[in-house]
Structure 1
Amino acid sequence: MEQAPQRTQATRGACSLSATASGRRSAAFLGALAFLVALPTPLAGADDVITLAPHARHGETSVAVVEWLNRAHFIRKPLDDAASSDTFDRYLDLLDPSRVHFLAEDIRELEQYRFVLDDALKSGELEPAFDIYNRFHQRLTERLSFSLERIEKGIDRFDFDLDEMVEIDRAEASWPTHEEEANDLWRRRVKGTVLNSMLRGRDNEEISERLGKRYRNQLRQARQVKSEDAFGLYVNAYAATFDRHTQYFSPRDSETFNINMSLSLEGIGAVLGPEDDYTSVVRLLPAGPADKGGQLKPADRIVAVGQGKYGALIDVIGMRLDDVVELIRGPKGSVVRLQVIPAAVDDTSGETSIVSITRNTVRLEEQSAQRQVLTVNDGIADRRIGVVEVPTFYIDFKARQEGRPDYRSTTRDVRRLIDELKAENVDGIVVDLRNNGGGSLEEASSLAGLFIPSGPTVQVKMARRDTRVQSDNDNGFVAWEGPMAVLVNRLSASASEIFAGAIQDYGRGVVTGNRTFGKGTVQTLIELDRGQLKMTQAKFYRISGLSPQSQGVAPDIHFPDPPGADRLGNDEDESIGWDRVEPAHYRSSGEIGPLLGTLRQRHERRVADDPEFNYLRERADRSREITGRTHISLLRTEREAQKESDDTWTLELENTLLLARGEEPATSLEELRERQVSAETDESLPDPLLKETAHVLADFIGLTRQVAMLPQETATVVR
């Protein structure tokens, strides 16, 4: 979770694009290349290999990041040969997590840098980092060129009667020893991709066209890399040696982070995405400038951007999406002109139009707190259950610092929603924190304060300092005194864990769902001259004294784990381990504990034969089986048999659920997929986990009205 930014002059200069301190970002970046389609380009040769060099500001920023981390990070660790070696390994993992680009001979040559990066980081010397990146880029270009060549030679050359395998999990594999081995590895990868398309029913011509486009696009994207890309990956490899949540943000990434925290930006209010060589309008944000103007439409393709009424139009065909976005964003009240190919027009017709839009403040309402009301029966009466969905813990720091009375925050929005739900006479409230990755610590604490009269909400411990207790400071105000529940899952993290942990420790509500992510650290934003450093400076603890770090918050009532849950969570972060502190002084309501046994029994009886829950359990089991596969056969007959088995299982499972819902079963997977696409925007579809949480809360409401309330007790704290 993040605290308000600290304004600090730390360095003169930074970079423009960074990555997270995790191999997933690099893998996602490289994987995303496959989804950006470009016009055909010649096969990459020597001229296609880009040689990047650092800018002076990169070295200055590197030194500033090193100084901050060594002076103020929660963990004190020397920048020595051990740190250098760790940075080296993490950098390679960010660049080539599947070990399919570098050759073993590259690694042997680059080993000369393993124990010199510490001195290079201290001095701002970035040549070693860029040497490593340039070698990676060379190999990336070679592998993409090789893949494109295999497609252009004709996919009929592949022998699908040959019994061979392709390795899909190479995180622990060795790098190819030489180019011949690399070629064979990529031949199998391309062959596997071709076979996947064949199994989807595509003919050779369509497959060749699709894959040719894909690899040409990837080559085009590779030619658009910048020095900022290399620098961002490298400095975040070093930051990750401290912990996985410490991260450098370039100025561009800083802007995106601030937008997500404030839920507002200044621009035109359009979501953009790649389409062939163009930047396409995916959708318009309701009530944004583009939406109100009525000229720009979804699926319009942007070909040029001009500033002001008379500024020259800049061609953006083939430009990186983030560069196009930067041209279109701008200050409130300014004008931007877009030259677009309308959605209904073929791009070969030459027909375009000019759309002029005055930028304004755009509120990202989709990420703000929302509400709804469910009605469930507990066997005695219908209970009206209000649901408040909180996607993130946001606050507009800038607007608050400017003294604007209408600044946005999670607590302010939820308080308003609670008032609306009270006006609708709800019997209880569920706070839905599923997939809420956190946000402002202050907001987590103040949100908890809406449900408790007064008292501590979280404990924070800085390095080598005493633990500080943070309390609800709203003079005893309680927005909702009635029954409540909190719904969480494996992606509920950080600030979500503060809130869920506080409600659980106070016995204020029932926590349902899955064990949470397990992030128990606090990050502070350090403003650099260009960009920001998000740095772990503290750990937080529940008021019971327990740390969520690596362990998360265990729900009172556990739901089936979703597919892939075993790959989620903060378990792998061993740099900052689990511990505990003395519990804070607080008073538990004593409402939930005596009734938990009964609530669990009723829940288990209800879901034992529930089709929705059975469906979730079956999918989770199947997911664990599939993700356990490390190799895939390239023998067509074997793959066809496997696909038939997988498809039959999927169709039977989905049809069982459809029949249980009173719907007609699907006759094929194609029909099933068509139904699923059309149902993506159908808000009436059941949400079994939310519905069951409402039933659990309704049970609690019924039980508390049947028996006398237990005397309020002083909290029994965990020591």
Structure 2
Amino acid sequence: MHSVFKTLVITILLGTTISTQALIPDVVPGTEFEPVQPTRQHARVTQQIMTHLLRGHYDHQRLDDRLSERVMNIVLDQMDPSRSYLLAEDVASFRRYQHSLDDALNRSDLRPAFFMYNRLQQRVSERLSFLLTELKHNGDKYRFDGDETLERDREDAPWAVSKKELDQLWRKRLQNSMLNLKLAGKERKEIIELLEKRYQNQLNRIHQNTAEDGYQLFMNAVTHAFDPHTQYFSPRNTENFNINMSLSLQGIGAVLQSENEYTKVVKLVPAGPADKTGNLKPADKIIGVGQSDNGSIVDVIGWRLDEVVDLIRGPKGTTVRLQVLPSDGTQQPKVISIIRDEVKLEEQSAQKDIIEVPNGSGGTTKLGVIDIPTFYIDFKGRMENKPDYRSTTRDVRRLINQLAQEDIDGLIIDLRNNGGGSLEEAVSLTGLFIKEGPVVQVRSNRGRVEILPDADPSVFYNGPLTVLVNRLSASASEIFAGAIQDYGRGLVVGGQTFGKGTVQSLRSLGHGQLKITQAKFYRVSGDSTQHQGVIPDILFPSLFDKEKIGESALEEALPWDAIRPADHTQAGSMKDVLPALRQQHQQRIEDNPDFRYLRQQKALREELAQQTLLVLNEKRRKQEQEDIEQRQLALENERRKAKGMKLLASLDDLEEQQDNADSVQGSGAPPEAQADTDTPEAEEAKEHAVEDALLDEAGRILVDYIRLNKRQKASLTAQSSQQP
């Protein structure tokens, strides 16, 4: 792509003209591909976008050769991440212009960008045409008894030097697709028909692509070169973005993105339908979508993201079925049923619970737990001066009052999976636990630092406190957890948080809109939450892969840095008790069945992730899948045996038990009727569902802290009484 731009700019500098048609690649007979052209409107919007980026982005960058080269690399990664379409000669022709994209952008000249886009569409069209021809003439000749393998990850593979080399790669990919369907129980004729339909649909979509598609691909490579959260939204995607930001969202409550030919789950909306099922996870890949309980599942591999989203969305109360490739590395598809619903503020509100934790003296300690799925506030209700408007801080204050009436000895704030929300609420919630003082610092793109403080000198809750976080705790969650840690007000335990420490705003354009990063968050200590997130005082094992989930997994993410600390008065210090707390925690989890299970699952996932080759032999593939399932079953039964639970004959038993429990819990029957219908298996599945080893361990750590704190106070009192 770079090479195209460079040629264009060189031609302009020489004073000659270049026709648009000269930049359009030849159309291969039979693909029926029609090149698209940039519009004048695209040129005007490009000028607006570049003005916003160069003047308003947090990371001041110059429109020069270095930026041009980064844009080129991003375009290549986005166009052909698996290096399966473009030829080495295509990439070479693009690369000649990698230091001229800046000049083309400066002129709002999009012809080089569309040259690259059209070349890609041509190559994709050729590959799909090849697959259709291969299926027609050789589909019944493919065998699955050889020694061939297919590379899973081709991110760093060399570009193919010839179409013949690509043909060989795509034959293997076709063989793998056929093998997957064969292992799913489909017959050869059905497999060929399904794949022909899949590839023909994809080819039809290529032919339906518009200039807007090409423009968005290129401009998002440009914005991504500044940072991954800066993004151009076309008019259609602007509409989708506004729907996703609405508090009244009918669908499944999941944020999706395209990755290669798949639709990947990025995150789940807290308390949304998908989150409630517990079966859909971040990094899962959606490969099929079906309507109602028995509607046929439509294969969506290779579909555009907006088309997949349109299939998944639907009226409240209707059922959508997703065929998913789990992120655990098993490569074994599963089908998940989700009832679409409206994501309501009420369902995302903070909830309380009480757990009783052994205190080491034969008794138990009563702890309050407040689960906060998101930082929310009813802005409209507040503006209308409604006395009962909802907000995170108001709800947590009410819940703490209720817990205090039940004589809790300590409090756990559970921020796991909390992706953020209202910055104002993160600040005011912190104020419930500290005296007045700064909570977070915000530095603008001009270097001006604004301190957002808690101005209330009162402390609403001053008892023992623990904050539980994980990799999906982000943004406002990190501000709250970081402030509690910096003030020494409580313990932070769990997994390293997401690391999103940037602030975005929306800028309207003449055509769509721009989401642009304009500021950065810093903790009271001066440390940025960007990239690094909040590192807990006591780390728990995690199944989240930091290479795939989190700010550090995003290309071009802004770096971690630090500014001057904000003046603040420490509420306390964990420094003296942390060594003992960590030692007790480590001793406790060493033989804990749940923590041992977590470590073993993580090791298995990492092992599977290292397997870069897919075998195309049916017997070997089937044996591999059976081996993985047996290992997972053995790990689950080891955990169950240690906990005195019923052992499973197969993993299907576990899924069936969970499904039974879900269907009973979601039946709408009154509690007494539900109890009457519970089978021992369903009851056990529910027990398994509500058991939370991480929350339990957070409680045990808090109990340890309470005990150590009492000893310290008693020791200080004794020393004071002995002084003359």
What CA distance in whole angstroms lies between the structure 2 residues aligned with 1:404 and 1:453? 27
What CA distance in whole angstroms lies between the structure 2 residues aligned with 1:480 and 1:683? 33
| Equivalent of 2:488 in 491, 507, 517 | 507
What CA distance in whole angstroms lies between the structure 2 residues aligned with 1:618 and 1:648? 14
What CA distance in whole angstroms lies between the structure 2 residues aligned with 1:341 and 1:543? 46
Taking the TM superposition and a 5 Å limit, the aligned residue runs for 1:91-110 are 91-110=75-94
What CA distance in whole angstroms lies between the structure 2 residues aligned with 1:507 and 1:59? 53
- The code of the aligned residue for 2:80 comes to D
Q: CA deviation at 1:506?
A: 1.1
- The code of the aligned residue for 1:568 comes to I
CA-to-aligned-CA distance 1:436-485 (integer Å, 9 cap, x gap)? 33334333222222221211111222244343322113x23444322221
What CA distance in whole angstroms lies between the structure 2 residues aligned with 1:240 and 1:80? 16
State the partner residue of 2:698.
Answer: 693
Question: TM-score if structure 2 supplies the norm length?
Answer: 0.74
Determine whether 1:239 maps to 2:230. Answer: no
SS in 2 for 1:120: helix
| Counterparts in 2 of 1:323 and 1:548: CA distance versus 1, 3 Å | closer
State the partner residue of 1:218.
Answer: 202
| Counterparts in 2 of 1:148 and 1:408: CA distance versus 1, 3 Å | farther
State the partner residue of 1:435.
Answer: 417
SS in 2 for 1:451: coil
**Sequence identity, in percent?**
44
What CA distance in whole angstroms lies between the structure 2 residues aligned with 1:660 and 1:516? 31
- Kept in 2: contact 1:591–1:709 (CA 8 A): no
- The code of the aligned residue for 2:155 comes to A
State the partner residue of 2:112.
Answer: 128
What CA distance in whole angstroms lies between the structure 2 residues aligned with 1:134 and 1:608? 57
State the partner residue of 2:265.
Answer: none
Determine whether 1:562 maps to 2:543. Answer: yes
State the partner residue of 2:577.
Answer: 595
Q: CA deviation at 1:503?
A: 0.7
What CA distance in whole angstroms lies between the structure 2 residues aligned with 1:198 and 1:109? 40
- Kept in 2: contact 1:301–1:342 (CA 8 A): no
What CA distance in whole angstroms lies between the structure 1 residues aligned with 2:134 and 2:655? 31
| Equivalent of 1:248 in 228, 232, 236 | 232
**Unaligned regions of 5+ residues in structure 2, if any?**
1-27, 257-270, 274-290, 297-304, 322-340, 664-684, 718-724
Determine whether 1:542 maps to 2:529. Answer: no
Q: CA deviation at 1:620?
A: 0.8
State the partner residue of 1:290.
Answer: none
Q: CA deviation at 1:299?
A: 4.9
CA-to-aligned-CA distance 1:636-672 (integer Å, 9 cap, x gap)? 4443443343232122112222333433322234444
Taking the TM superposition and a 5 Å limit, the aligned residue runs for 1:367-382 are 367-380=348-361, 381-382=363-364
SS in 1 for 2:222: helix
- The code of the aligned residue for 2:213 comes to D
State the partner residue of 2:438.
Answer: 456
State the partner residue of 1:467.
Answer: 449
| Counterparts in 2 of 1:341 and 1:432: CA distance versus 1, 3 Å | closer
| Equivalent of 2:307 in 312, 320, 328 | 320
State the partner residue of 2:141.
Answer: 157
State the partner residue of 1:483.
Answer: 464
Q: CA deviation at 1:379?
A: 2.5
State the partner residue of 2:559.
Answer: 577
Q: CA deviation at 1:103?
A: 2.0
SS in 1 for 2:551: coil
Q: CA deviation at 1:261?
A: 5.0
| Counterparts in 2 of 1:400 and 1:220: CA distance versus 1, 3 Å | farther
- The code of the aligned residue for 2:475 comes to S
State the partner residue of 1:498.
Answer: 479
CA-to-aligned-CA distance 1:562-593 (integer Å, 9 cap, x gap)? 15234333336566333222221112222533
Q: CA deviation at 1:522?
A: 2.5
CA-to-aligned-CA distance 1:651-706 (integer Å, 9 cap, x gap)? 21122223334333222344444445556676641221122112222332344345
**Further displaced range: 580-589 or 527-536:** 527-536
Q: CA deviation at 1:69?
A: 1.0
Q: CA deviation at 1:708?
A: 1.6
- The code of the aligned residue for 1:320 comes to E
State the partner residue of 1:357.
Answer: none
**Further displaced range: 134-143 or 248-257:** 248-257
Determine whether 1:704 maps to 2:691. Answer: no
SS in 2 for 1:585: coil
| Equivalent of 2:611 in 614, 624, 629 | 629
What CA distance in whole angstroms lies between the structure 2 residues aligned with 1:220 and 1:391? 41
**Further displaced range: 383-392 or 164-173:** 383-392
| Counterparts in 2 of 1:146 and 1:669: CA distance versus 1, 3 Å | farther
Question: TM-score if structure 1 supplies the norm length?
Answer: 0.75
CA-to-aligned-CA distance 1:614-642 (integer Å, 9 cap, x gap)? 11101111111111122223234443443
CA-to-aligned-CA distance 1:359-402 (integer Å, 9 cap, x gap)? x9973544444433333222243333333333333446677667
CA-to-aligned-CA distance 1:548-567 (integer Å, 9 cap, x gap)? 33322211111113152343
- The code of the aligned residue for 1:512 comes to V
What CA distance in whole angstroms lies between the structure 2 residues aligned with 1:254 and 1:408? 28
SS in 2 for 1:691: helix
- Kept in 1: contact 2:440–2:521 (CA 8 A): yes
SS in 1 for 2:530: coil
Taking the TM superposition and a 5 Å limit, the aligned residue runs for 1:300-379 are 320=307, 363-379=344-360
Determine whether 1:175 maps to 2:159. Answer: yes
| Equivalent of 2:180 in 196, 202, 217 | 196
| Counterparts in 2 of 1:215 and 1:663: CA distance versus 1, 3 Å | farther
- The code of the aligned residue for 2:588 comes to R
What CA distance in whole angstroms lies between the structure 2 residues aligned with 1:612 and 1:502? 30
SS in 2 for 1:129: helix
**Unaligned regions of 5+ residues in structure 1, if any?**
1-43, 275-283, 287-296, 303-317, 330-335, 344-359, 713-719
State the partner residue of 1:444.
Answer: 426
| Equivalent of 1:620 in 599, 602, 610 | 602
SS in 2 for 1:437: coil
What CA distance in whole angstroms lies between the structure 2 residues aligned with 1:253 and 1:424? 49
State the partner residue of 1:166.
Answer: 150
- Kept in 1: contact 2:474–2:499 (CA 8 A): yes
What CA distance in whole angstroms lies between the structure 1 residues aligned with 2:111 and 2:378? 39
What CA distance in whole angstroms lies between the structure 1 residues aligned with 2:320 and 2:54? 53
**Further displaced range: 506-515 or 58-67:** 58-67
**Further displaced range: 543-552 or 680-689:** 680-689
| Counterparts in 2 of 1:587 and 1:175: CA distance versus 1, 3 Å | same
Q: CA deviation at 1:90?
A: 0.8
What CA distance in whole angstroms lies between the structure 1 residues aligned with 2:610 and 2:246? 40
Q: CA deviation at 1:408?
A: 5.2
State the partner residue of 2:621.
Answer: 639
What CA distance in whole angstroms lies between the structure 2 residues aligned with 1:127 and 1:399? 50
Determine whether 1:606 maps to 2:588. Answer: yes
**Further displaced range: 557-566 or 203-212:** 203-212
What CA distance in whole angstroms lies between the structure 2 residues aligned with 1:45 and 1:322? 33
Higher relative contact order (CA 8 A, sep 6+): 1
Q: CA deviation at 1:613?
A: 0.6
| Counterparts in 2 of 1:362 and 1:575: CA distance versus 1, 3 Å | closer
- Kept in 2: contact 1:454–1:471 (CA 8 A): yes
| Counterparts in 2 of 1:669 and 1:240: CA distance versus 1, 3 Å | same
Q: CA deviation at 1:238?
A: 0.6
| Counterparts in 2 of 1:249 and 1:342: CA distance versus 1, 3 Å | closer
